[in-house]
């Protein structure tokens, strides 16, 4: 075999290969991390029961957000865990679309399911719009203000965020879907499942293999790479 590599092309190919392999390795490490996280015993979610305060004459407090790249209004209702203790704010569901839909507390049942309960600091969304408490609309989560709006006095209320959320369509309330709740953790949630990272890793590694193939084919087409004896 005879091989006369082109210096500049070879250098660029080596650099590109290193980058592609490193990207693949990084995605695979993210895949491994998320798989491991799914197997740890320190799961923040537990079965939580919340007795919704249906005696409150108000409506659910709606907070603007984004889920799966879509604008939504998250609807929070007041209640007590196991019917006891201080008032908490429970994410009941979400309405997809720019127009919020009121939800009367009197019409709701109690909640029981996998959820995470924690204190969330007050948030503001200055340029996104001004909150309208008189309409039960908020552009940033503020537990104290939301509970005050409903007539409660708690200032350090916890929020109960289910592992998944039900998203209904504003223009057709009979249409709904269930999706992973990205607000179920204080620090937010990475929406990509582990399998997606594994797929990305295969993509980067595949591009590296393809680059090697192109490099070999290009040199062979120019007569710089020949197999067998000298001709």
Do 19 and 108 belong together in one domain? no
Q: Which domain holds residue 213?
A: 2-32+192-226
Strand 159-162 and strand 111-118: pairing?
A: antiparallel
Do 12 and 71 belong together in one domain? no
| 37: in domain | no
Give the pLDDT confidence score for residue 177 in this predicted structure: 94
Do 121 and 163 belong together in one domain? yes
Sign of the dihedral defined by the CA atoms of residues 58, 60, 64, 70, in that order? negative
Do 101 and 203 belong together in one domain? no
Query: How many domains does the chain contain in total?
Result: 2
Does pLDDT of 210 surpass 60?
yes
Band of residue 172 on the pLDDT scale cut at 50, 70, 90: confident
Task: Give the residue from 156, 136, 161, 148 showing the smallest Cα distance to 85.
Answer: 156
| 187: in domain | no
| 7: in domain | yes
| 150: in domain | yes
4-62 pLDDT, tens per residue?
999 999 999 999 999 999 999 999 998 888 777 655 444 678 999 999 999 999 999 99
Do 28 and 53 belong together in one domain? no
Do 174 and 214 belong together in one domain? no
| 14: in domain | yes
| 202: in domain | yes
128-166 pLDDT, tens per residue?
458 999 999 999 999 999 999 999 988 778 999 999 999
Band of residue 105 on the pLDDT scale cut at 50, 70, 90: very high
DSSP letter (8 states) at residue 7: H
């Amino acid at each position: 075999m005879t091989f006369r590599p082109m210096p500049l092309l070879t250098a660029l190919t080596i650099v590109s290969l290193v980058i592609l392999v490193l990207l693949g390795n990084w995605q695979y490490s993210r895949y491994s991390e998320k798989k491991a996280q799914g197997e740890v015993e320190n799961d923040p979610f537990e079965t939580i029961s919340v007795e919704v305060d249906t005696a409150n004459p108000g409506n659910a407090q709606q907070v603007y957000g984004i889920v799966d790249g879509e604008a939504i209004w998250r609807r929070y209702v007041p209640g007590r865990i196991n019917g006891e203790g201080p008032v908490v704010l429970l994410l009941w569901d979400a309405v997809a679309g720019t127009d919020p839909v009121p939800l009367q507390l009197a019409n709701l049942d109690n909640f029981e399911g996998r959820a995470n309960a924690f204190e969330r600091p007050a948030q503001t969304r200055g340029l996104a719009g001004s909150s309208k408490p008189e309409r039960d609309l908020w552009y940033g989560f503020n537990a104290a203000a939301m509970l005050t709006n409903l007539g409660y006095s708690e200032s350090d209320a916890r929020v109960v965020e289910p592992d998944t959320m039900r998203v209904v369509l504003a223009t057709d309330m009979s249409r709904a879907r269930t999706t992973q709740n990205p607000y179920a953790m204080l620090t937010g949630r990475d929406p990509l499942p582990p399998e997606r990272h594994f797929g990305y890793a295969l993509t980067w590694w595949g591009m590296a293999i393809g680059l090697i193939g192109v490099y070999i084919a290009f040199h062979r087409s120019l007569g710089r790479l020949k197999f067998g004896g000298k001709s």
